A = this chain, B = another copy of it.
């Protein structure tokens, strides 16, 4: 299988501020994700909030097939021009995988066009059952009918997203809620996957089935042809007719 260029972005704040989170992800969530994607033979780089341009310069994005996004506390600290740059790469074909609390990130709100921060939530470490709704979808390959997650933050409906193009996973939570936990969206030439699991206080990204879904999603989201940023953003010159226009003659008749 072919090698893809993956950039894992993590705001990397919780891990530095909380001993509890640091105990779960001592190298940061981004490096945990990088490690299991390296098993696939991909070229994986990481980027974080504190880097210049949040580590997402034009050059980095130019060499990125799929961008993974984890953020939570610092959504508002992500610069608007970086969000705009990421968006231009997405609509030109770069894949985007938004994880967990990334639901409220600027980039996900921008591609959705809705206030995606809106959902039910509760942080008591209840159990989740993640059900496969579309077993024939590439993102669900190798996954059994369900994934058990022993402890997770609850995310529940109503989740304020547009109707997704495809609904792949549904989440069940012990306290009575359900969630559209795995959803795809197409924007321009870019493919986007939102995946709910991954609260920072639980070792969810170390779970093999969760890793499998993210590995699948990376392959699914990769661009199929060359990515030409800006090529899909509107043209200022009119198009030549494909077929002759006989209208003037018709009007004369």
Docked-complex contact B189 and A233, CB < 8 angstroms: no
When the two chains form their complex, are residues A178 and B172 in contact, meaning their CB atoms are under 8 A apart? Answer: yes
Among the stretches A17-25, A26-34, A123-131, the one at the interface with B is A123-131
Number of this chain's copies in the assembly equals 4
Inter-chain CA distance A115–B104, complex, in Å, is 21
Contact A145 B174 (CB under 8 A): no
A244 CA / B185 CA spacing, docked (Å): 34
Contact (Cβ within 8 A) A91 B160: yes
User: Given A178-B131, A241-B175, A243-B175, is A163 in contact with B167 using a C-beta cutoff of 8 Å?
Assistant: yes
A250 at the A/B interface (Cβ < 8 Å)?
A: yes
User: Across the interface, which residues of B come within 8 angstroms of A244, CB to CB?
Assistant: 175, 246, 250
When the two chains form the complex, which single residue of B114, B151, B191 contacts A187, counting CB atoms closer than 8 Å? B114
Give the residues in chain B near A173, CB-CB below 8 Å: 172
Q: Write out the residue numbers on chain B whose beta carbons fall within 8 Å of the beta carbon of A133.
A: 157-159, 180
A151 nearest CB neighbor, chain B only: B247
Q: How far is the CA of A46 from the CA of B213 in the complex (A)?
A: 37
Q: Which of A152-176 contact B (CB under 8 A)?
A: 154, 156-160, 162-163, 165-167, 170-176
**By the criterion CB–CB under 8 Å, are B114 and A174 in contact?**
no
Please give me the residue from chain B that is nearest to A216 by CB atom. Answer: B224
User: Is A203's beta carbon under 8 Å from chain B?
Assistant: no
Judge whether B114 and A131 touch: CB under 8 Å: no
Q: Which chain B residues lie closer than 8 Å to A191 at the CB level?
A: 136
Q: Enumerate chain A interface residues (CB-CB to B < 8 A).
A: 91, 93, 104, 110-115, 117-127, 129, 131-136, 138, 141-142, 145-146, 148, 151, 154, 156-160, 162-163, 165-167, 170-178, 180, 185-191, 223-225, 232-235, 238-247, 250
| 23 intermolecular pairs with C-beta atoms under 8 Å apart | A91-B160, A114-B187, A115-B188, A115-B233, A121-B238, A122-B239, A129-B176, A133-B159, A133-B180, A134-B186, A135-B158, A142-B225, A157-B170, A160-B232, A160-B234, A165-B166, A172-B242, A175-B241, A175-B242, A175-B245, A177-B242, A178-B178, A246-B246
